[in-house]
Amino acid sequence: MDEVTPDAAITPDAANEVVAPAPERSALGATITWVRDLAINVVIAVIVILFLYQPVKVEGTSMMPTLVDQERIFINKFVYRFGLADIGRGDTVVFWFPRDPSKSYIKRIIGVPGDKVQVADGTVIVNGRVMQEPYVPDEYRDHVSMPSTTVPPDEFFVLGDHRSSSNDSRTWGMVPRRYVYGKAVFVYWPIDRLGLLH
């Protein structure tokens, strides 16, 4: 004889019970929820843009072929500000132009504090060794020379990848660390150039 435990027993009332559908939310309630969710998302986006990433537009050809004119990129403003990473040789950085801080430039870090940097007929020499620069194709090189100079503390020597089209540290000197406000990390437009920057 099969037994049914009390927990599993079905009473006649329960067997015939009908669950009523939940009342529909009013249009006003749905609108308020949608507006609230939108506001939260906007606040989160603003926080991310202000403190982590910022979209910027590249203007000019000094960083070709790595970056092209009118390209849109994201820069990471968080990584240097809070000391999560040091500004390193090879980083592509965005900074306030030392001679006119109302303007922003984007260049590549070549010399860090303490480095001895020299340019001989277009060849960059750092601390007595020729720097390997696969990001500078032969057609973008020039034959400019610059005597050896030591990068001061808290300053950086920067160059554009398009050497024959770049206004950089060879002309106007070093970039103070306090002027560097972001690292270029990602191209988001045009779509065919989408990807991480190196």
- The DSSP letter of residue 162 is S
Query: At 165, which amino acid appears?
Result: S
Task: Say how many C-beta atoms besides its own lie within 10 A of residue 188's C-beta.
Answer: 13
For residues 155 and 72, give the distance between their C-alpha atoms in angstroms, rounded to a whole number: 27
CB of 149 closer than 8 Å to CB of 59: no
Q: Is 107 a catalytic residue?
A: yes
Catalytic residue among 77, 107, 166, 169: 107
CB 166 within 8 A of CB 142: no
Cα atoms found within 13 Å of the Cα of residue 29, Cβ hemisphere only: 4
Q: Which residue has the tokens 């060849």?
A: 123
62 flagged as catalytic = yes
Check 26, 57, 62, 102 and give the catalytic one. Answer: 62
The catalytic residue positions are: 62, 107
